[in-house]
Amino acid sequence: MRVTRIGGPTALVEWEGWRILTDPTFDPPGRTYSFALGTSSRKTTGPARSLDDIGDVDVVLLSHHHHADNLDDSGRVGLARAATVLTTRAGAKALSAPSGPVGHPDVRGLAAGDSVTLTAQDKPALTVVATPCRHGAPFTRPLVGPVVGFALTLGDAARPGLWVTGDTVLYDGLRRAAAAMRPDVAIVHIGAVKFPLTGPLAYTMDAAAAVELIALAEPGTAVPVHVEGWSHFSEQEAAAAKVFESAELTVRESVRWAPLGEPIEVG
C-alpha cells in the first residue's frame, strides 16, 4: 500500500490497483471559512499535490461534507474525478441531488455499521464498512452533524487492510470499534480542533487520545493526518510528534509521519 499525504485530512491511497482519496481539500491557503455558531477558521497551507497531479480515482472516502476542512470548494469540484463517493447518509443526499453543487451520479450514504462492496475490472473486491465517529461532545451533534470513518478490506481478508478514522473524538463507541479492528494501516485524524467561542471543547482527537486509540486498534502502521494547514487545529504536527515520541514502544513504532506530497510504502 502506498499513502501520499496531501494536506489536512486529504490523502491518496494506492492499494492493489485501487486509487482511494480521503476528504478532498484542494483550495489554496489564505481564505477564512465559516463553521457552525459563528465559528471560523483560516486555511494556512495549500495542498501538497494538485487535483491534476492526482488525476482520476476509484473512490472518495468523505467523512462528512459540511465542513470546509474536510471538503472545500476545489474538493467538491474534484469529486467528479471519482467513480464512487462514500460518505454519510446526509452527505449522500446533499451531494447527489441534481440541483445541488455537485450532483455526482454515484454517491452512497453510510451510517456506522453499514457496508458496501465495490468491484472493478482486474481488481480485488473492496468492502468498506462505516465505523463510528463523534465530532465533539455528545450535545454538539445537532451543530456539527454526522461523521463516519471507514474500514476497508480486500477480497476475503480476515481483517481490514485500511482504517480511516474520520474526524472524531475518542469515546466508548470508538474504543470498542478500535479494539476489534487490528487493521494493517490506520489513517488517524488528530489536530485537537477547537474554537475560541466554545473554549476547551475539542472536536477531534489530540495526539494523547490517538495514542490510546492506536494502542487499542493495534495497526501495523498509523499515519497521522488532519494536523496542519488550518488555524483551528490547536495541536499541530510538531506538538503532536512530541506526544507520539513519548508513547509506549508499540505505539511509537507503529506511528509513521508521511512527508507532505511524498508517497510512502506502508502495511
pLDDT on residue 101: 56
169 within a domain of the structure (yes/no): yes
Q: What is the pLDDT confidence band of residue 185, given thresholds at 50, 70 and 90?
A: very high
Q: What is the pLDDT confidence band of residue 220, given thresholds at 50, 70 and 90?
A: very high
pLDDT in tens, 123-179: 999 999 999 999 998 877 777 889 999 999 999 999 999 999 999 999 999 999 999
Q: Calculate what percentage of the chain has a pLDDT beyond 90.
A: 90
pLDDT in tens, 81-104: 999 999 999 999 999 866 555 678
265 within a domain of the structure (yes/no): no
96 within a domain of the structure (yes/no): yes
pLDDT on residue 17: 97
Tell me which of 48-62, 89-103, 203-217 is least confident: 89-103
HEC profile of 75-139 = HHHHHHHEEEEEEEHHHHHHHHCCCCCCCCCCEEEECCCCEEEECCCCCCCEEEEEECCCCCCHH
- Order of strands, sheet of 149-154, starting from the edge strand that comes earlier in the sequence: 115-118, 126-131, 149-154, 162-164, 185-189, 221-225
β-partners of residue 127 are 117, 153
Q: Rounded to whole angstroms, what are the CA distances from 237 to 49, 191, 205, 233?
A: 19, 8, 13, 10
Total number of domains in the chain: 1
pLDDT on residue 234: 97
> Rounded to an integer, what distance in angstroms lies between the CA atom of residue 267 and that of residue 183?
9
Average pLDDT rounded to a whole number, residues 202-208: 97
pLDDT on residue 102: 62
55 within a domain of the structure (yes/no): yes
Read off the CATH number of the domain in which 166 is found: 3.60.15.10
203 within a domain of the structure (yes/no): yes
188 within a domain of the structure (yes/no): yes
pLDDT in tens, 22-53: 999 999 999 999 987 789 999 999 999 999 99
- Backbone φ and ψ for 124, nearest 5 degrees, come out as -65, 150
63 within a domain of the structure (yes/no): yes
139 within a domain of the structure (yes/no): yes
pLDDT on residue 223: 98
- Domain encompassing residue 27: 2-258
